[in-house]
Amino acid sequence: MADTGDVLDARHVGMIAREAGCRAAQVTAAAALLADGATVPFIARYRKEATGGLTDAQLEEIAKRRAYYVDLTQRRDTILASLGEQGALTDELAAAIDAATSKQELEDLYLPYRPRRRTRAQAARERGLEPLADALFVSMRSPKRPADLARAYIDPDNDVPDTDAAIAGARDILAERVAESADNRAKLRDMTGREGVLAVRVVRGKEADARVYEDYFEHRERADRAASHRLLAIYRGEREGLLASSLGVDDERVLDGLARGWDVLPRTPCGAEVMAAVADSYKRLLGPSIASEIHAELRARAEAEAIAVFRANLEALLMQAPLGRLPVMGVDPGYRTGCKIAAVDATGRVVETGVVYPGRSAGEDEKAAETLRSLVARHAIEAVAIGNGTGGREMESFARKALADAADVIVALVPETGASVYSASEIAREELPTLDVSLRGAASIARRIQDPLAELVKIDPKSLGVGQYQHDVDQKALQAELDAAVEKVANQVGVELNTASAPLLRRVSGLTSRVASEIVARRDAHGPFRTRRELLDVPRLGAKAYEQAAGFLRIRGAENPLDNTGVHPERYGVVDEMARALGVKTKELVGAPHLADTLDLARFVDEARQLGLYTLDDIRAELARPGRDPRPEFETPEIREDIATIADLAEGMVLEGRVTNVTNFGAFVDIGVKRDGLVHLSELSDTWVDDPRQVVQVGQIVTAVVVDIDRERERIGLSMKAVTGSGR
């Protein structure tokens, strides 16, 4: 959706450029496109000339920081208006507010003037004690006694019965001034952020309930060095009432710094009272306030890291290799209720279902084997996808034996996480209305091996098992990042217009859920699309949406072969020019690398059409390999048939497996024993690894050595660095 015309000033543009690692002109161009309603995938792919080739990551950063600075500007204007209404806006304060580059700076400056609940200092002001606070402060360099200054403010009718009460009220006013000083807050925030020590303990009497948090019963570490997964575990323990944490700094250093900053002279009578106010402020107001802010920053940092981990895992999961448009049989294993089977054709349409009961008796085994063989023969099945849940390994072994004579049929375990969520979803009911819920799961498993992206987009990413503390983070921020991840992958891969489901279509740049449903409805009513231009006949799909979406949609067997490529329709004309320059027809140029490689791209540069080498290079790549799928080739790990449970493992075994999840502390690998093994960060490589994703990704097949087995807690330790050529 286009913005309302908010414009960034030059200072903000410069800051965004530094944060995104680009030039100010690139930020300005990208911001203008974003304000006009262009999406990040569209700008990254089709507006490279305008942005100077910014990547999608840079564009996402620009979009986020742009939104931040637009909010900052709006908040600044609100604060200035409020201060003007209060009559508190001075030239100095206005300049400081205008110079603020963060929301925190703005709020610190506004804090003394912000409407608030009645405080002790406010009550003291109402009793007329502010002049006494001023007098105590300015009298620090004199021998004056506080009681002598306070005597004039005694007023029993106004709750000031004696000099002690008057001085106490004045100290409350001074304490609040100390706590609301933007300079004091900034300095303490910086010190606490750099030096603060996070101390954690178990809540007394909760030891038995808190066993899962045993590592944090007596825990201390520098807060700025605390790993995100530890922070999130600690904060979860606090929410559950099992742990308590505190954030500490050197109190004496803080008080000394505050005193020096205010030129406090604690050895004079009035100075001693001011120093008491400073100490009270730090203990009661400033310290807790800053500690709360730092906790919030730590939590935000930990959540951001956890969300980033989740997003990276989700992108890798969605980018897993597809088997392709082949007939597949999906099997959802089960002991008590049997193994549900769904055969799907090359387009994913369910053609037959059934239930088999292997393992019950010899008779049932033979009956199940015959069912598998007949389904394979009847529907020309080329792969059998078996859910990797309970009974999966046993069913895999059974299927391999039953189909031993069908050597060309692939039998593979497929992660079934989220299949049950899909089965009971509204999407599944619409797609498979005549199937029982349990059979829908088998169909989903079959489709996952055909095209993981197309099937997994139908499931809430939080149900796919690749998150870290996903329920402990800001859900709005998490959803935004996960949506961005799905959209990035969908547009990177490209979407087949005539077979894609509405959930997949709505992830295409420029398309909404409503428009995606209209596309499917139009397809159902009038048959497959023959050209991209026919999209303009879809209700609610206007010229802007067409511009944003068309290049990411593919039409297999289209009248114009360019409709099955990543070349945007707005550039079809230049492709025709290229073909004429080579003396061939456009159809002959598409898919002909020997011709595309001979093109002199400089001949087609046209600044008036914003047609430069960025776009021309992309066009040539598409002509050489039209509609290239960026995902890897399909492969499966070699799971040993003699190892099915943790009891079958022994230290020193070398096994293959598939990475199921990557966290900040390592990677989990499915080695076929119902419990994933952990390759700790330190066991990923012989060289230092800061981020596990530098070495492994979700879906990757790896080889690892079993180095530790805890059968009681069902934990398996693996090492990749102990294997030469561990990754595949």
Name every residue whose Cβ is closer than 8 Å to that of residue 305 and which is 6 or more positions away in sequence.
Answer: 228, 664
- Name the CATH superfamily housing domain 646-719: Nucleic acid-binding proteins (2.40.50.140)
Please tell me the predicted confidence (pLDDT) of residue 642.
Answer: 85
Q: Do 728 and 702 touch, CB atoms closer than 8 A? A: yes
Residue length of the chain? 728
The percentage of residues in the chain with a pLDDT greater than 70, rounded to a whole number, is: 98
CA torsion, points 690, 696, 699, 702, in degrees to nearest 10?
-140
Is-contact 300 353, C-beta < 8 A?
A: no
Q: Which among 674, 725, 675, 686 has a CA at the least distance from the CA of 702?
A: 725
Q: What pLDDT was estimated at residue 727? A: 42
- The answer to whether 341 and 355 are in contact (CB under 8 A) is yes
pLDDT, one tens digit per residue, over 321-373 is 999 999 999 999 987 889 999 999 999 999 999 999 998 899 999 999 999 99
pLDDT 10s digits, 367-424: 999 999 999 999 999 999 999 888 888 899 999 999 998 879 999 999 888 999 999 9
Q: What is the pLDDT of residue 61?
A: 96
- pLDDT attached to residue 144: 95
Could you write out the DSSP letters of every residue in 240-276? TTSEEEEEE--HHHHHHHHHHHTT--TTSHHHHHHHH
**Comma-separated ranges of CATH 1.10.10.650 domains in the chain:** 10-113
Fold for the domain defined by 481-559: DNA polymerase; domain 1 (1.10.150)
This prediction's pTM? 0.87
Q: Which part of the chain is CATH 1.10.3500.10?
A: 120-196+249-310
Q: Where in the chain is the domain with CATH 2.40.50.140?
A: 646-719
Q: 25-36: per-residue pLDDT in tens?
A: 999 999 999 999
CATH number for 120-196+249-310 (one of 3.90.1150.10, 1.10.3720.10, 3.40.50.1000, 1.10.3500.10): it is 1.10.3500.10
CATH of domain 328-450: 3.30.420.140
Q: Express each pLDDT in 81-126 by its tens digit.
A: 999 999 999 999 999 999 999 999 999 999 999 887 889 999 999 9
Residue 728 confidence class, pLDDT cut points 50, 70, 90: very low
Q: CA-to-CA distance for 581 and 453, rounded, in angstroms?
A: 39
CATH code of the domain made up of 10-113 = 1.10.10.650
Contact criterion met (CB below 8 Å) for 413 and 297: no
